[in-house]
Chain A
Amino acid sequence: MEKTVNIFLFGKKYEVPENLTIMTAMEYSGYQLVRGCGCRNGFCGACATIYRIKGDRELHACLACQTKVEDGMYIATLPFFPLVKQVYDIEKIPVNEQVMMQLYPEIYACVGCSACTKACTQGLNVMQYIAYAQRGDFEACANESFDCVMCGVCSSRCPAGISHPQVAMLARRINGKYIAPDCEHLNDRVKEIKDGAFADLLADLMRKPVDELKELYNKREIEK
């Protein structure tokens, strides 16, 4: 027999095999998920969940698809959190500190409690990336926040009402578009194609009998 553990889904007790994730344990218990389940693999942030182990004071946050059940787990899913996303025009946005001040002024109300960092399901230093955003250091904010899945747990714990994932999203787009070095070989190639530099080559390939293409494929040189 498989070993089982007792878990509490929204306070109600279920006995489930111990090797399940919180997500599969919910399904095992009879839930047909619609909310709170997206990629099932730790990339989309749909399955934010908070739990507490019986007898323990600490509140934990996790991704339900990435976390094994434990005995005495009290589980509540957080399938939606009202993050605030400000809209802006990426083509016209000024690349300076003021932009954070205008769009997300609440980040300057951060009290430094670190609850966001403690709650992050990805183990990111959330408070630090907010500090970078305050300073207008978009590159550092982008790097520090890169692995964010935007599950929103950080924001659910924030006394200042910051929407951390959205702040980071803005920083990453500014960094990607304006601060990261421009790519010359890419620009060149786009222009070459526009100018028709490869048109004849491609037209030739389109016409070739399959056998000739097979020959080309089987004999192609592979870059080391």
Chain B
Amino acid sequence: MYSERFKASLEAVEKNREQNTGFEPQRMSAEQKEEILKKYHPDHREDKFATLKVGKNKDDKVPTELCDMLSAHSRIAGRSIDLDNPDYDVDVLIIGGGGAGASAAIEADNAGASVLVVTKLRMGDANTMMAEGGIQAADKPNDSPAIHFIDAYGGGHFAAKRELLSKLVCDAPDAVKWLSDLGVEFDKAPDGTMITTHGGGTSRKRMHAAKDYSGAEIMRTLRDEVYNRGITVVDFTSAIELILDENGAAAGAVLLNMETKELLVARAKTVILATGGAGRMHYQGFPTSNHYGATADGLVLGYRAGAKLLYADTLQYHPTGAAFPEQIYGALVTEKVRSLGAKLVNAKGEVFVHPLETRDVCAASIIRECGERNNGVDTGNGLGVWLDTPMIEKIGGAGTIEKRIPAMMRMFAKYGIDIRVEPILVYPTLHYQNGGLDITADCMTGVENLFAAGEVVGGIHGRNRLMGNSLLDIIVFGRSAGKNAAEKSRSVKTGKLTLDHVKKFEGELDAAGIETQLVSPKLLPDYNRKGKIL
């Protein structure tokens, strides 16, 4: 139930619903898209970016908050750490227990390697657990990996590394099959046909889902499998610095017990960074859809050890974060809501953008609607536009919402909003780190024996990612990183362990005249006493 404040606008939405439901808004031309992005997308707000003064990406622009972390002190600066008696000694060290890390662990275990997974919170307290919409794979007769490639390449503004994208789309059906064989319950018709929908920017219906708990279903299954295999998982333990050997190859990590603050050392023949995204950095003050531990740690760890970043200046702002009520501000309203037929409607009840434009274009359109055009709805806690969910039941029939997006229905019902009959208010939320560590198709970073997979990687999607391609990339590249790191570990002869690169980096900060009190990686955001998720 909405209060008086929303009445006039709500009436306009209801009045136009019948007509809006049938209305097919025009898609933007390439030029129109470019223009709206330049003017309204947060990635183009130059004053919110800073130039890196140290490291492999010196002179590149990245978000100011990230620049601060990449130019901050090590958490172990000036401390001496005993590297000669490691607490763990394994073939493959995997940092991060999300979907990419778990996939890597299973494949490395398959390949016979001894595996250690360390993760900041619990295994599965991760962005993977929160994915709602689904996973793409071109497995229908009217579709092909080539069409999938074109969709993703264009959606990413023709900036993806083609060899990575090609691997993504070609390995996609096998990734879905792998998950299915592990017991992931994809939505299927009685004859076994996958129930697939569009996502923003797709030209074929290739979004596979498990209701709107797609990521949770994948994550809990992978986690269960990791435990079944007896793989060692150490939770509430963060990597705070990579360890190299005397030859400059990755050879382990310094770990921090998040509860006792004890420091530990893990030695490994190969290391996989699978630390996920950065939503909790709250770039430009945006709210976020991400989990509590998404603080770009992997970028910091890799960067200090000498790895290169690619497209670290581009973030994805999901167009539909919840704008109301305040308690769920920034929480994700899955794109599937639009896939199923709900349209974006302004305060006057007008549809102002095609609901399935790519995310960046949709987000920019909402920002324009609420800004310059002054057609936003004042929620009392900011601005928003309507997402007219009742359209879904008009199109798909009564019961569609409960069956296809139960998590959404539950999230709003807790605050007295029945999305089957009432629309919801949305505004862009910081959602995904498009950029990250630069890798080869074998998941190798520029640092010997250091692999990376998942959201910590940049370049697979270019400068914007399509819905459903991230769950896909964590499986495809997670598995690949696991296999390759295990394979590589067989021939590695680790030299003497060292943290000299950390010292060297501190020296570079000095030389660049950077004075800062900050330490990184950030590990957790600080919400103390602010009482607000910002």
Q: Please give the residue numbers on chain A whose beta carbons come within 8 Å of chain B beta carbons, in ascending order.
A: 16-17, 19-21, 24-25, 27-35, 37-44, 46, 66-68, 85, 87-90, 122-123, 142, 146-147, 149-150, 169, 172-177, 180-187, 189-190, 193, 198, 201-202, 205-206, 210, 213-214, 216-218, 220-223
Q: Which of B86-94, B134-142, B245-253 contacts A (4 or more CB under 8 A)?
A: B134-142
Query: Is B154's CB under 8 angstroms from A186's CB?
Result: no
Query: Is B292's CB under 8 angstroms from A40's CB?
Result: yes
What's the nearest-Cβ distance from chain B to residue A82, in Å?
14
Chain A residue nearest to B152 (CB atoms) is A217
Neighbouring A residues of B289 by C-beta, 8 Å: 41
Neighbouring B residues of A32 by C-beta, 8 Å: 524, 526-528
Choose from A42, A46, A85, A190 the contact partner of B125 (Cβ within 8 Å).
A46
**Is B151 at the interface (CB under 8 A from chain A)?**
yes
Neighbouring B residues of A187 by C-beta, 8 Å: 177
Choose from A29, A41, A68, A193 the contact partner of B331 (Cβ within 8 Å).
A41
- Number of A-B residue pairs at CB separation under 8 A: 230
Lowest 4 CB-CB distances: which A-B pairs, in order? A173-B183, A217-B154, A38-B125, A28-B531
Q: With A32-B526, A39-B125 as given contacts, are A189 and B139 in contact (CB-CB < 8 Å)?
A: yes
Neighbouring B residues of A221 by C-beta, 8 Å: 203
Report the separation of the CA atoms of residues A105 and B355 in the bound assembly, to the nearest whole angstrom: 50
Q: Which of B221-229, B364-372, B493-501 contacts A (4 or more CB under 8 A)?
A: B221-229
Query: Is A206's CB under 8 angstroms from B162's CB?
Result: yes
Neighbouring A residues of B30 by C-beta, 8 Å: 214, 218
**Is B184 at the interface (CB under 8 A from chain A)?**
yes
Query: Is B531's CB under 8 angstroms from A16's CB?
Result: yes
A-B contact pairs, 25 of them (CB 8 A): A27-B530, A37-B121, A38-B125, A38-B126, A38-B292, A41-B130, A41-B291, A43-B215, A44-B129, A87-B228, A147-B410, A172-B185, A176-B185, A176-B221, A181-B188, A185-B140, A185-B194, A186-B173, A190-B173, A202-B145, A202-B170, A205-B162, A213-B153, A217-B158, A223-B204
Q: With A30-B528, A185-B193, A220-B203 as given contacts, are A202 and B149 in contact (CB-CB < 8 Å)?
A: yes
Neighbouring A residues of B158 by C-beta, 8 Å: 210, 213-214, 217
Report the separation of the CA atoms of residues A210 and B170 in the bound assembly, to the nearest whole angstrom: 20
Choose from B170, B188, B216 the contact partner of A198 (Cβ within 8 Å).
B170
Chain B residue nearest to A123 (CB atoms) is B410
The bracket for how many chain B residues form the interface is 35 or more
Query: Is A189's CB under 8 angstroms from B138's CB?
Result: yes
Neighbouring A residues of B527 by C-beta, 8 Å: 24, 27, 32
**Is B150 at the interface (CB under 8 A from chain A)?**
yes
Chain A residue nearest to B527 (CB atoms) is A27
Query: Is B531's CB under 8 angstroms from A42's CB?
Result: no
Query: Is B185's CB under 8 angstroms from A180's CB?
Result: yes
Report the separation of the CA atoms of residues A44 and B223 in the bound assembly, to the nearest whole angstrom: 12
Query: Is A220's CB under 8 angstroms from B150's CB?
Result: yes
Report the separation of the CA atoms of residues A170 and B227 in the bound assembly, to the nearest whole angstrom: 12
Report the separation of the CA atoms of residues A154 and B170 in the bound assembly, to the nearest whole angstrom: 42
Choose from A35, A41, A185, A205 the contact partner of B259 (Cβ within 8 Å).
A35
Query: Is B129's CB under 8 angstroms from A43's CB?
Result: yes
Neighbouring B residues of A206 by C-beta, 8 Å: 162-163, 166
What's the nearest-Cβ distance from chain A to residue B26, in Å?
13
Query: Is A90's CB under 8 angstroms from B529's CB?
Result: no
**Is B78 at the interface (CB under 8 A from chain A)?**
no
Neighbouring A residues of B227 by C-beta, 8 Å: 85, 87
What's the nearest-Cβ distance from chain B to residue A157, in Å?
21
Binary per-residue interface labels of chain B (193-213) against chain A in the complex, 1 for a CB within 8 Å, 0 otherwise: 110001000011100000101
Query: Is B154's CB under 8 angstroms from A213's CB?
Result: yes
Query: Is B203's CB under 8 angstroms from A40's CB?
Result: no
Neighbouring A residues of B144 by C-beta, 8 Å: 198, 201
**Is B327 at the interface (CB under 8 A from chain A)?**
yes
**CB within 8 Å of A: which of B220-238?**
220-221, 224-225, 227-228, 230, 236
What's the nearest-Cβ distance from chain B to residue A152, in Å?
12
Query: Is A183's CB under 8 angstroms from B188's CB?
Result: yes
Query: Is B291's CB under 8 angstroms from A44's CB?
Result: yes
**Is B4 at the interface (CB under 8 A from chain A)?**
no
**Is B447 at the interface (CB under 8 A from chain A)?**
no
Query: Is A175's CB under 8 angstroms from B327's CB?
Result: no
Chain B residue nearest to A63 (CB atoms) is B414
Other A-B contacts than A34-B121, A46-B122, 15 sampled, CB-CB below 8 A, are: A41-B289, A41-B328, A41-B331, A41-B332, A43-B215, A44-B216, A44-B291, A146-B213, A149-B216, A169-B220, A173-B183, A173-B224, A174-B183, A184-B193, A216-B150
Query: Is A24's CB under 8 angstroms from B150's CB?
Result: no
What's the nearest-Cβ distance from chain A to residue B337, in Å?
15
**Is B174 at the interface (CB under 8 A from chain A)?**
yes
For A142, A198, A206, A213, the residue with the greatest tally of chain B CB atoms inside 10 Å of its CB is A198
**Is B512 at the interface (CB under 8 A from chain A)?**
no
Report the separation of the CA atoms of residues A180 and B194 in the bound assembly, to the nearest whole angstrom: 11
Choose from A142, A190, A202 the contact partner of B146 (Cβ within 8 Å).
A202
